[in-house]
Each structure stands twice: as C-alpha cells, then as structure tokens.
Amino acid sequence: MSNNPEIVKESSMVMQKEMIANNYDQLTSTAETGRKVVSTFVPGNLNELIMCFGLLNNLPEINAIQNGMRKKSGAMIMDAERSGHSEDVCTYVKSDIGQMSKGNVAPNGKPMPPPDLLLLSYTGCFTFMKWFELLRHEYGCETVMLQVPYTGAGEITDNMRDYVVKQLKEDVIPALERVSGVKFDIDLLRENLRRSAEAEDNLVWVLESAKNIRSPIDAYFGGVYYIGPIFTAFRGTQDAVDYYRVLRSEIETRLAEQKGPVTPEGDMQEEKYRLVVEGPPNWTSFRDFWKMFYDEGAVIVASTYTKVGGVYDQGFRHDPDRPLESLAEYCLGCYTNRNLPNRVNMLVDYVNEYQADGLLINSIKSCNSFSAGQLMMMQQVEKRTGKPAGFIETDLVDPRYFSAANVKNRLESYFQMIEQKRSKTEAA
C-alpha cells in the first residue's frame, strides 16, 4: 500500500500485496499452465463457486482501479472514447476497453489472457450488462448471464431467491462445467463458503473497530485495502482467512496502543472529525484525495463503498448449509442492489452508531447506480440525524473529473462548518 520507505509496512499489507501479485501471475501464465479464466464483477462475485472448477477469477473493475492508481486509466479512457464510446458512460468500462486496445497488459506488465467465460453477474448495476456485451463483442467468448433482481421493495422475496438459484443451477453451473471440464462438487463449495464466513467475521470486527472514539482505522481510504481480498478473487481461500486473522490482530494492537489509522505519511495524529462516507473513492488521485482528509484530522469511520461487494456488518454470512441459497442472498443483498430507503437507513445507523460528525457524499460521475438519488439520500440523512452533510463530486478513474482545487475548497468549507457548529454547541 505505501511506497513511502520510512513507513514500516504492517504484515497484513505485505500479505495482501503478495496475494495480488500471485493472482496476477497466475492469470498471466495461463498459456503455460493451461488454466481457464472467468471474468466477473465485484458485486455478485461468486468466487467460491468459480474456485470449485479450478478456474481463475479476473475482475475488470479491479484492473480499472489498478490502472487508475497507476495513472494509466486516463489514456485508456480516451482511447475508448476515440473508438466511439460516449464520454457520458462509466469510466470503468472505458478503462477496461482501453486496456484491451493497449495490448491488454496486466498490472504486472505481462499480457492478460482473453477470458474463457464472461460470468455476467448482473448485480446492482445496469452497466454490467452492457459492459460484458461489449467485451463479448470484442472477445467473442461465451457469456453467461446471472440476473440478480433488484430489491426494489426493500426485501429479498422467495421469487427472487428461487430465480437466482435456478439460474445458478440451469445456466451458470453448466457453463462453468463446460468451460472447465470439471464436474460441480457441492461439498467443495460448502468448504469454500465455510472459509468465507470465517474471514467475514474478522472483517466485520475490523470495520466495527472504528466505533471507538479515536478510531484505529480509516474505514474508507484504509477500508478499501481491508475489503480487497474479500471482494475479489480470494473470498473462500485460506489466504483470505489468514489475512483477516493477521489484520484483526494488528488492529487489536493499534487499539490497545491508542493509535489512530495508518496513512501514507505514518500514523494519523489528532482525530478532529469523524465522518461517514457514501460513494466510491476517486482512484486517479487517491493519495491526494486521502491527504485532504488526514491533513485536516478527518477520519472516515464508516463507508458504504466497503459494502459493494457484500454487506457483512448487517448480519449476512455465507452459509455452507445452504450453499446456493446463500450465494443468491449474498448477491441480492449487495449494497447497490438495495433500494434507496434501505441505503438511507444504513447511513443513518452509521452516523449514529459510529458517533460521526456528519455524512460526506462523494458523488461519482460514472456511477448512476450509486449516484442517482444521492442528493435525496443526503437530505434524508441530515433530517434524521441532525448532522450536517457535505457533497463533493469526482470520478472513479477519469482524471479529468478530479478537480483538486474544487474538492479541497468544498472539504475545507465542510470541515470549517463542522468546527463552527461544534464550538457553538460547546459554548452553549
């Protein structure tokens, strides 16, 4: 995570780095190993199932993030726009398509193999559907659709669950069998799910450690690292179990030592503001963006972005006893598959339970799934918590939409407003 030589790397960071490197190495050596690759999305990511077939899991969103953080996405997006993709649509898609046209080089510098199967888990985002149609347009490979109905009325109905399970049985599993040549073994799946649940327990503990005043973690900028393994190709692996065990013990130590969150410039000093953040971060200026917070003593104590690949802190666990049903429920329960009233409830609870000073929304141009309606959510959360909300706008991986001066101006005003309000409450 940190490239800063003065900072001692925590062992969880080293572990994660190795896991990721290892995964990219496996992906880019399929020519030698003959392993097959499935591409799929973070929300509704069926890693446990994919593992049952010995397939490798490639997540284009993660590639886009990697390219964003390495400041390569800008050129890729422009490439895609040049080839006729609209400037209005999600930049993850364009970054992915641009990466392809630039030789499809993985972040480890080696060429990425074309996928053998596109597993279109249509969960919580419309763009996913067209994204994989576009990839199919380019690769011409097999595509299997898993439609995850939106929980428009706020709950998972039997019809939804049955529909997802049925698609798993009749379409997804047969496709995975076909591509891999491996027969489906439900016991293997149960085994994977058990490991998922174990890792999930520790992840939830870590995220909730931010309830402490003087939080030992930043649940957004740090949080995106903590969710890495569980949201991607590692859920259900022993590596993930180990990672979360180590991570938890590190945070336990920080807590005991009364330390604040780690930042790229060392431990954070004073905790001046506690915020809940809604919306994904900006990746192209991730460090600069983060710095605008820790320089001012702002800690993010809870965020919804860390729930896109699964909402675990509200009680859901993968369940080895109901393997396919629990996979279905996992998909149905992902953050962006929840209706707006539910998202508002979650945010209100976060502000209250984590004793936050307010809600900050980072509205992402790319992502209608997150962004459409955020302003109404903001109003509702303000009304129900009485805490002030802030609003900034950036984009995921399009550097043209990160205006540092603009964001900084708003954040400063927001922090000063919290400060002013607080000094008034103290005076009263």
Shortest reach from residue 366's CB to ligand SF4, in Å: 5
Binding to other proteins in span 162-201, by CB under 8 A: 162-163, 166-167, 170-171
Binding to other proteins in span 316-345, by CB under 8 A: 339-341, 343-344
54 binds other proteins (CB under 8 A): no
366 binds ligand SF4 (CB under 6 A): yes
SS3 letters across 349-361: HHHHHCCCCEEEE
| 303 DSSP β-pair partners | 277
Shortest reach from residue 391's CB to other proteins, in Å: 7
Q: Which stretch binds other proteins (CB under 8 A): 103-111, 251-259, 326-334, 401-409?
A: 401-409
Residues 93-122: x where in contact with other proteins by CB under 8 A, - otherwise, as a string:
x--------------------------x-x
**For other proteins, which is the closer residue by CB, 253 or 403?**
403
| 425 DSSP β-pair partners | none
Alpha helices (H) in 209-355, listed in sequence order: 223-226, 228-231, 238-256, 286-294, 323-333, 340-353
Q: Is 276 strand, coil or helix?
A: strand
Q: Phi then psi for 361, rounded to 5 degrees?
A: -105, 125
367 binds ligand SF4 (CB under 6 A): yes
Strand residues in 80-226 grouped as ranges (E): 117-122, 142-147
Q: Give the integer Cα–Cα distance in Å for 148 and 369.
A: 14
Q: Give the integer Cα–Cα distance in Å for 419 and 273.
A: 9
Q: Which stretch binds other proteins (CB under 8 A): 41-49, 251-259, 317-325, 400-408?
A: 400-408
72 binds other proteins (CB under 8 A): no
**For other proteins, which is the closer residue by CB, 63 or 374?**
374
Q: Which of 38, 125, 224, 227 binds ligand SF4 (CB under 6 A)?
A: 125
Give burial (CB, 10 Å; 0-12/13-18/19+) of 354. Answer: buried
153 binds other proteins (CB under 8 A): yes
Binding to ligand SF4 in span 334-363, by CB under 6 A: 336
DSSP-assigned letter for residue 168 = I
Q: Which of 14, 18, 31, 152 binds other proteins (CB under 8 A)?
A: 152
Q: Give the N- to C-terminal CA distance of the chain in Å, as an integer.
A: 44
Partner whose footprint covers residue 340, from other proteins, ligand SF4, none (CB < 5 to 8 Å by kind): other proteins
384 binds other proteins (CB under 8 A): no
125 binds other proteins (CB under 8 A): yes
DSSP-assigned letter for residue 337 = G
Q: Which of 180, 369, 374, 394 binds ligand SF4 (CB under 6 A)?
A: 369
13 binds other proteins (CB under 8 A): no
Q: Which residue has the tokens 């997802």?
A: 164
- Contact yes or no for 154/341 (Cβ under 8 A): yes
Q: Which two tokens stand for residue 293?
A: 């917070």
Q: Which of 207, 240, 365, 397 binds other proteins (CB under 8 A)?
A: 365
Shortest reach from residue 283's CB to ligand SF4, in Å: 11
Partner whose footprint covers residue 231, from ligand SF4, other proteins, none (CB < 5 to 8 Å by kind): none
Partner whose footprint covers residue 92, from ligand SF4, other proteins, none (CB < 5 to 8 Å by kind): ligand SF4
Q: Is 250 strand, coil or helix?
A: helix
- How many residues bind other proteins (CB under 8 A)? The answer is 76
Q: Which stretch binds ligand SF4 (CB under 6 A): 125-133, 187-195, 239-247, 375-383?
A: 125-133
Burial 148-180 (b: 16+ CB within 10 A, else e): bbbbeeeebeeebbebbbebbeeebbebbeebb
Burial 292-307 (b: 16+ CB within 10 A, else e): bbbebebbbbbbbbbb
Nearest-CB residue for ligand SF4: 367
Q: Residues, the chain, total? A: 428
Q: Is 160 strand, coil or helix?
A: helix
- Please, how many CA atoms are within 13 Å of residue 87, restricted to the half-sphere of its CB? 6
Interface positions with ligand SF4 (CB under 6 A): 90, 92, 125, 127-128, 336, 366-370, 396
